[in-house]
Chains A and B, each alone.
Chain A
């Protein structure tokens, strides 16, 4: 296993993978800084470039991009009080007041250094967890793998759906994703399903036009609707000269940073929870580190610990989220669901293979998170003044370029105009789902894992008939699934009864 760990590093240090990782990191760097363009949507957009790449080149490219988005997203949160990413909202609470006080440099130094420590912590946890989860994954058969798909779908539905009907709508989205994955020639008997006489549909819907349509087109529409400068008219906070002080603060509060990294990784591992929750839990934990009431009152007004906590947790979550994604095909969040799509595009199947045959590649992901973040943080610290100016780019200038990337990306998956129609259809569906607050990640999970789930369901039924339902491991996963589905309702009821 140690050999694979070193091989993973060697993969990243080869010329082409390293260059692709740098390109990916540069894109992620930019995307993180610009509010209005999410890491998930960009991940979907960038998937169109991986066709000509090997998995050893594509993973550093995609993960290099995705893992630095939260790092640079903090910059916009501190300087403008606008989250660069949805996962960097908690950084605003103390980061922006610090910027207004003229301590933006200190806040940025602190948030960037804590982000780096968080990323390294998350990656280390991923590396250490592989020997532990490997025997577990290898003990799973087709019935358990099918149940894991349902578990993932339930988790992501429970936590990404909103309101009373959230779970139901999430599951419906996942079901619709399953249905879309059935289009084309059936892999069991070769029967054509839902092709409506169209030759184009024989091979099924391509992942990239569907993902780009569902995630990137609604973001472009949002940019067009908001129609303003990316950072709005909010004045830029003063940078000051405190970057070094911010780095010092990080090491003075080292154990707080480690504890918040642990929180981020833990929430990353929980499927579907993601950074949206972990950043606030980390922030709450940071406030608890205050020893007196006076100290506690300083939070929200520019306490550096309020910046360190969310910064560390945001970046450590990616390493944690990769654990269930790689080992079980259960993504830790929307971004991981899209990354899972990239796995299938490259012919990689999550589960046992990723921990045996492709173990070196799995470890290269660990190294990508570490190296990409070291580079991103170093560049940020060196050129922070110039980077801050990037946020003044107007959103509507980017629209034609994003549109062109969407169309080229969709087209290059099959070099067929049909892909452009699929892109537009799913763009409309994405906008409708966004407009009515229906969660999109469950759809992607259902779509990406549809064939995988079908093969496992068929194999389980063929081998065990209906008896596979009574297998102990299946029943345990079923119980966990039910627990995940009911947990939000039980917690809400308990909270309401406590309030009464």
Chain B
């Protein structure tokens, strides 16, 4: 049972939703009727449905796990899964990095920098292709967002500190 709880991510989602549902209902309980009606109703529904889902997950028939996984605890796809996990972490690192670049340098610098670094460092593309695609991105970015749509992009923190 303990292994099942730890292994089944769906149970963790149900548990999280249970906590969210209960928190919403409890927080909303103190509000005036007109404000609390919807949150209390929905919070309680979510709590009980998540509870039901969790109980079904714990005591219902196994679902989604292959017999091979059950017997040995590992599958031939484990290696692929490791690669997939590594790549997932990698892309999230790029997403986080891009966010930091935007905060520190602002959109106008961060956008071409991301395209250039991703193509050159991550994809190891040729200099020619990297520069062509980065240049195209700069033209697209300035053409559409700066000149046509006129989106106001604030300066990055680093740019502001440097004056």
Residues of A bordering B, CB below 8 Å: 49, 52, 163-165, 168-169, 171-172, 175-176, 178-179, 182, 186, 188-189, 191, 193-194, 217, 220-221, 224-225, 227, 396-397, 399-401, 403-404, 407-408, 411-412, 415, 417, 420-421, 424, 427-428, 431-433, 435-438, 453-454, 457-458, 461-462
Contact = CB atoms under 8 A, between A and B. Distances in A.
A424 B53 contact: no
B121 to A, nearest CB: 11
Given A179-B24, A399-B91, A408-B151, A164 B56 contact: yes
Contacts of A397: 119, 123, 125, 133
A193 B42 contact: no
Given A225-B84, A420-B102, A163 B53 contact: no
A86 to B, nearest CB: 20
B9 A432 contact: yes
For the complex of A and B, the 4 pairs showing the least CB-CB separation, nearest first, are A224-B91, A175-B46, A400-B118, A454-B38
A30 to B, nearest CB: 14
Contacts of B122: 396
Interface in B109-135: 111, 114-115, 118-119, 122-123, 125, 133
A51 to B, nearest CB: 8
Contacts of B68: none
Given A407-B102, A417-B103, A400 B114 contact: yes
Contacts of B91: 220-221, 224-225, 399
Interface of B is mostly: helix
B75 interface: no
Interface of B: 9-10, 13-14, 17, 20-21, 24, 27-28, 31-32, 34-35, 37-39, 41-43, 45-46, 49-50, 52-53, 56-57, 60-61, 63-64, 84, 87-88, 90-92, 94-96, 98-99, 102-103, 107, 111, 114-115, 118-119, 122-123, 125, 133, 137, 141, 145, 149, 151-152, 154
Contacts of A171: 45, 49
Contact of B20 (A176, A396, A407, A424): A176
A163 B63 contact: yes
Contacts, number: 160
Nearest to B20: A179
A399 B93 CA distance: 13
A191 B96 contact: no
20 contacts: A52-B149, A164-B56, A164-B60, A169-B53, A175-B17, A178-B38, A182-B42, A186-B35, A217-B95, A224-B87, A224-B90, A396-B123, A397-B119, A400-B137, A403-B114, A408-B141, A420-B102, A428-B92, A436-B10, A438-B13
